């Protein structure tokens, strides 16, 4: 009898503890392991890992993060998807690859496409970058827009202000046009000892072309002709050798000469190092620059990190009329360079429910907000709440730095004339031609016009090869235009 009582008590205790455990796992994915893949860390991979730890605590499922070098990630994912292999449950990838991946992805469950958390995602991501032909096939997990970063101490130095005004006839301030940006670069490069004009990525294979796109966006993303920056959305003819692009390239080349001597070998990592190391007066690039430069452990200029939207232009090339259109004021045209890492679930995954739950957790305001202020995660703001929670950002920025940084991020992703990045099937084939010609033009082996003419001819040839109709359809979908 005693034994029976003990047994009953033990059974009740076990049942109770089991039910408590069940309650702890919400939803319960005990025994389920999902595999998430992305580029080699720390960037993005560490964000996945941080979220994985939290998700394991919440759901009792586990996440294995598999990392590949950037150059290997696309081939690994594409071979897995096309072969129907179930190796990955979550893929974190560049949005430009979306056209090649979308036929193999599952749609985001409807329950995640509603509520405050859904509406908190900045519209350019929620309504453009996560959508393909009307379906939400991925979740943005990083906001990527190019912004401008500058040294507050240098810009507010009285001696520099006076010298600059004497030389250029206007005040040294945050540049609103690319002309002003180059003037500032020229001033610090030539007239100030110990600091170079600017830093951008110029290395082939080192994110170079996004920096060129940022320059060109101001001259080619016409507000009246949406989606016409890279190709004519009616004919799919390449636009990259038009006068707007030429002006962008000429200025990009000029920027390379107003930079540190090593700049032609700079990828974005070196841009961050140059700015945080106090080598340059200003730079353009992703939001990582501001976060790294504000970190005293990594930076010599913390406390003096100013941010703003990218410079733009009041002249924009109109490919329809074949003329420059001039506006009274600069048309603010930030560029969604890269567009931010996307997370998606392949159709071949055997754990789709758990995988989407993990993505939802990863991109939740709390988890993603913490990742955005954690150095090295590579996560930049993509939710409205990321740019309004000043308390969170106070841990890394001064009040002024935080206000400028968040202001620049928010103004960029909500700008009326924000330029979307190119997303096309065969993306690597298009960008490879561009990278080769950009390298030649930067080295002075060909003229900017020759380089762009070669790129345009190469792009048109690729479009013919891949099928003009299907490419046009994909291009229009990527630019948020209706199918023809």
**Binds another protein (CB under 8 A): choice among 265, 321, 347, 395:** 265
Binding window for another protein (CB under 8 A); candidates: 68-76, 141-149, 348-356, 366-374: 68-76
**Residues numbered 387-416 forming contacts with another protein, rule: CB under 8 A:** none
Question: With the C-alpha atoms ordered 132, 133, 137, 141, is the resulting torsion angle positive or negative?
Answer: positive
Pick 432 or 460: Cβ nearer another protein: 432
Give the H/E segment covering residue 314: strand 313-318
Pick 286 or 427: Cβ nearer another protein: 427
Pick 132 or 397: Cβ nearer another protein: 132
**323 near another protein, judged by CB under 8 A:** no
- Over the window 183 to 212, marking each residue x when it contacts another protein by CB under 8 A and - when it does not, the resulting string is --------------------xxxx------
CA distance 35 to 19: 28
**Binds another protein (CB under 8 A): choice among 99, 197, 287, 311:** 99
Using DSSP, state whether 50 is helix, strand or coil.
helix
Burial 269-282 (b: 16+ CB within 10 A, else e): ebbbbbbbbbbbbb
**Residues numbered 100-119 forming contacts with another protein, rule: CB under 8 A:** 100, 103
CA distance 19 to 319: 66
**84 near another protein, judged by CB under 8 A:** no
Burial 405-419 (b: 16+ CB within 10 A, else e): bbebbbbbbebebbb
**Residues numbered 347-376 forming contacts with another protein, rule: CB under 8 A:** none
**429 near another protein, judged by CB under 8 A:** yes
The dihedral region occupied by 480, where left means phi > 0, alpha psi between -120 and 50, and beta the remainder, is left
**70 near another protein, judged by CB under 8 A:** no
Other residues' Cβ atoms within 10 Å of the Cβ of residue 429:
15
**Binds another protein (CB under 8 A): choice among 262, 330, 384, 411:** 262
Pick 26 or 470: Cβ nearer another protein: 470
Other residues' Cβ atoms within 10 Å of the Cβ of residue 394:
13
**Binds another protein (CB under 8 A): choice among 68, 112, 168, 428:** 428
The residue to which tokens 């084939």 are assigned:
429
Pick 206 or 290: Cβ nearer another protein: 206
Binding window for another protein (CB under 8 A); candidates: 19-27, 139-147, 313-321, 441-449: 441-449
Under 8 Å CB-to-CB from 100, ≥6 apart: which residues?
Answer: 78, 425, 426, 427
Pick 79 or 395: Cβ nearer another protein: 79
φ, ψ of residue 399 to 5 degrees: the values are -60, -45
**133 near another protein, judged by CB under 8 A:** no
The residue to which tokens 């159709």 are assigned:
347
Pick 79 or 113: Cβ nearer another protein: 79
**Binds another protein (CB under 8 A): choice among 25, 117, 466, 481:** 466
Judging by beta carbons within 10 Å of its beta carbon (0-12, 13-18, 19+), is residue 428 exposed, middle or buried? middle
Binding window for another protein (CB under 8 A); candidates: 1-9, 51-59, 95-103, 221-229: 95-103
CA distance 479 to 477: 5
Pick 203 or 222: Cβ nearer another protein: 203
Chain residues binding another protein by CB under 8 A are 71, 74-75, 78-79, 82, 99-100, 103, 203-206, 260-262, 264-265, 425-426, 428-429, 432, 436-437, 439-440, 442-443, 445, 466, 470
């Amino acid at each position: 009898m005693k034994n029976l009582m003990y047994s009953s008590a033990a059974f009740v205790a076990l049942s109770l503890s089991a039910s408590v455990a069940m309650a702890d796992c919400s939803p319960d994915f005990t025994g389920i392991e999902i595999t998430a893949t992305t580029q080699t860390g720390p960037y993005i991979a560490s964000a996945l890992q941080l979220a994985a730890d939290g998700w394991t605590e919440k759901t009792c499922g586990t996440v294995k993060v598999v990392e590949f070098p950037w150059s290997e990630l696309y081939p690994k994912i594409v071979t897995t998807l096309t072969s129907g292999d179930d190796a990955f449950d979550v893929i974190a990838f560049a949005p430009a690859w979306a056209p090649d991946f979308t036929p193999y992805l599952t749609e985001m469950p409807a329950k995640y496409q509603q509520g405050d958390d859904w509406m908190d995602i900045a519209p350019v991501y929620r309504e453009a970058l996560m959508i393909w032909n009307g379906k939400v096939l991925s979740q943005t997990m990083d906001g990527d827009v190019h912004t401008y970063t500058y040294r507050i101490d240098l810009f507010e130095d009285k001696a520099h202000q006076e010298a600059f005004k004497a030389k250029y006839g206007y005040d040294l301030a945050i540049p609103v046009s690319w002309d002003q940006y180059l003037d500032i670069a020229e001033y610090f490069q030539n007239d100030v000892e110990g600091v170079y004009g600017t830093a951008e990525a110029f290395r082939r294979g080192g994110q170079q072309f996004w920096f060129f796109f940022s320059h060109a966006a101001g001259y080619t993303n016409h507000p009246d002709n949406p989606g016409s920056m890279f190709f004519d959305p009616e004919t799919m003819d390449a636009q990259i050798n038009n006068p707007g692009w030429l002006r962008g390239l000429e200025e990009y080349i000029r920027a390379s000469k107003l930079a540190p001597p090593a700049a032609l070998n700079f990828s974005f990592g070196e841009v961050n190092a140059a700015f945080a190391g106090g080598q340059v007066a200003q730079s353009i690039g992703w939001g990582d620059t501001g976060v790294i430069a504000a970190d005293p452990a990594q930076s010599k200029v913390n406390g003096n990190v100013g941010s703003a939207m990218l410079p733009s232009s009041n002249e924009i090339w109109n490919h329809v009329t074949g003329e420059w259109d001039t506006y009274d004021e600069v048309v603010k045209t930030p560029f969604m360079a890269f567009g931010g890492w996307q997370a998606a679930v392949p159709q071949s995954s055997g754990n789709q429910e758990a995988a989407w739950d993990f993505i939802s957790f990863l991109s939740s305001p709390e988890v993603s907000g913490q990742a955005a202020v954690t150095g090295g995660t590579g996560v930049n703001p993509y939710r409205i709440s990321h740019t309004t929670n000043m308390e969170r950002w106070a841990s890394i920025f001064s009040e002024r730095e935080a206000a400028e940084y968040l202001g620049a991020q928010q103004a960029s992703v909500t700008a009326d004339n924000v330029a979307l990045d190119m997303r096309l099937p065969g993306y690597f084939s298009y960008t490879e031609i561009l990278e080769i010609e950009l390298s030649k033009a930067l080295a002075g082996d060909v003229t900017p016009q020759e380089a762009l003419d070669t790129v345009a001819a190469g792009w048109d040839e690729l479009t013919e090869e891949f099928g003009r109709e299907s490419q046009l359809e994909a291009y229009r979908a990527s630019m948020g235009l209706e199918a023809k």
